[in-house]
Chains A and B, each alone.
Chain A
């Protein structure tokens, strides 16, 4: 069974940093793109970025470039999303996902993590 298990909810103060994780199992983690998606409270889905764990090739949304860092440790089948200088506007659920169906993986996503709620408040 394909699973993506994300780290737990975080509460941070403005200006702090955090790194959330996404551990994959039940499939070949290294050769399938992992995507990070943000969902602000009551809002839609926003693409943050992608990583290919085998070589850590990373693609960022222009909206998030320079604001976040995506990384992966293929030895433990885990991807990470790091955010620094957090602001209240970073409050959101962050999902990781991967795409295993279709001819070209990494374009759309059929397996999702449970989401990590990040709350930034003073």
Chain B
């Protein structure tokens, strides 16, 4: 099983700041990585796939990068609606999909 490790578990930031979330795979996954945002009481929302391709309609302040085993999700200027949980998911080993444990972005 490919294990996805997200760090940090919690990130305390102020609105307007730049935020970088990390996701590391336990083995090579090429660019087969997606990012999701989940707000309390809601289903996850796809943000990024292919490590760097924004989902339709996603604001440009969100960007993804990385390949191989190390990936990042960057929010260039944090808006109030971005305080949320973020998960990464690998699909390199499809159909054996795995998610990271998540990073919570909270208001500082």
Give chain B residues whose Cβ lies under 8 Å from the Cβ of A95. 43-44
Q: How would you classify the secondary structure of chain A's contact residues: helix, strand, loop or mixed?
A: loop
Give chain B residues whose Cβ lies under 8 Å from the Cβ of A110. 46, 55-56
Number of A-B contacts (CB under 8 A): 63
29 residue pairs bridging A and B, Cβ less than 8 Å apart: A44-B101, A44-B102, A45-B38, A45-B89, A46-B99, A47-B96, A47-B98, A47-B99, A59-B95, A61-B97, A95-B43, A95-B44, A97-B43, A97-B44, A102-B49, A102-B50, A106-B94, A107-B32, A107-B34, A107-B91, A107-B94, A108-B34, A108-B89, A109-B34, A109-B46, A110-B55, A112-B43, A112-B44, A115-B43
Interface set of B (CB-CB < 8 Å, partner A): 1, 32, 34, 36, 38, 43-46, 49-50, 53, 55-56, 87, 89, 91, 94-102
Known: A112-B43, A115-B43. 10 other contacts (CB 8 A): A44-B99, A44-B100, A44-B101, A45-B87, A102-B50, A107-B94, A108-B34, A108-B91, A109-B46, A114-B43
